[in-house]
Amino acid sequence: MQILLKGGRVVDPAAGRDGVADVLIDGAVVANIGTDLPADGARVVPVPAGCVVCPGFIDMHVHLREPGQEHKETIATGAAAAVAGGFTGVACMPNTNPVNDQAGITESILAKANAAGQARVYPIGAVSRGSKGEQLADLAELQAAGCVAVSDDGHPVADALLMRRALEYAASFGMLVIDHCEDPSLIGGVAHEGYHATALGLRGLPAVAEELIVERDVTLSGLTGAPVHVAHMSARGSLRAVRSGKARGIKVTCEVTPHHFILTDEALQGYDTNVKMNPPLREAADRDAMLEGLADGSIDVIATDHAPHHYDEKAVEFDQAPFGITGLETAVSLSLDRLVHREVVSLSRLVELYSTNPARILGVAGGTLAPGGAADVTVLAPDAPTIVDVARMRSKGKNTPFGGWELRGCVAATIVGGQMLYVNDAVGEAAVFTSGGG
């Protein structure tokens, strides 16, 4: 079946395109893009006024919890939340139970993602067996099974030699190592070590615990010549290390989450466990550094670190609650509101952060609407008012500090492989999408 997305503003930085154009989808691929394309039997879908057609967004850092913690999330519910949030693809971390450190688990994840028929799911395998940081997993086996990268996310690779070997081994067959940066000798707290944690009697997590490992692994990347990607960066010293590495030609990339470029540790007031995450919310100077890195190009990716938990798990004392918040269904609206409309970044730069760069860094298809590529499309309504409605979230996890926030900008529709899987019925004129979709 052919679909002609007619008359929207198409923003595709990889193709150098930002202007009104038509996008012709033929089955699962983009067939053509240009102005005034003839329908020639295709189903014509007029893009609603003010909407923007982009290459599909990819979240390169999510936790889908399956296998082992299906009460928090499943691959099916997480992938459905992804398309509702505008993501056509997600890369899922290996800290499941059991850990994704062998081919059979990877293959099971892919089979369940295929059965769900929602967002594309890209498994990330473990660096070490059981993510224990003692012995390398069989990285080649994981890649052959379908893993796009490796990480011990949730746990630091504490041993520098093991990290060096992981970088060398993974690079030998073109695989990326994604780095959870924490010095284990400096952790054990529950909130950023600073004024607010001290005032509230909470054990501190110092920013230097992150900064030291970022410095170490940027250096190891330079030594080995292997690429390293810094996950969920939160501290200004970490950004300084990344910038220094980039300036020296080291193959380092990094990501930041919306909660780390919006919130600060001042949000700890009230002991709301929905602001407990790792890395923790930092002080204002760190938050401002993340905004500067997004604006000047030092930061490559926005990722959600989507970490769903059951309500009962968060409804406990702050010290006892698990780290993490959901993010798939809030990230794009937060980014439009706080980055684009406040002129921190342009809309084109936002597409780079959510689509072009994640596809390039992970080495997966997408990141552009060039003809011949996958018909993965995110349609934005940048000016549409929206309210974060936790009750309507498709994710099992409702643990977000952004519930009830009024924002400007949202996702209008999400198309994966030529199939319209999500339509936002709250967007004015979005009903034009619903025939054959939603």
331 with 59: CB under 8 angstroms? yes
Q: What is the CA radius of gyration of the chain?
A: 21
Cβ-in-10-Å burial (0-12, 13-18, 19+) of 158 comes to middle
Longest dimension (CA), the chain: 68
What distances in angstroms separate CA 100 from CA 127, 227, 248, 277, one per listed residue? 10, 21, 34, 22
27 with 50: CB under 8 angstroms? no
Nearest-angstrom CA–CA distance, 176 and 217: 13
Is residue 296 among the annotated active site residues? no
Per annotation, catalytic residue among 305, 312, 337, 376 = 305
For 354-369, give the DSSP string: IIIHHHHHHT-S-S--
Edge-to-edge strand list for the sheet holding 176-179: 57-62, 87-92, 120-125, 149-151, 176-179, 228-230, 252-256, 301-302
Closest CA to 304 of 269, 349, 353: 353
Beta bridge mates, 385: 408
Q: Which residues are catalytic?
A: 305
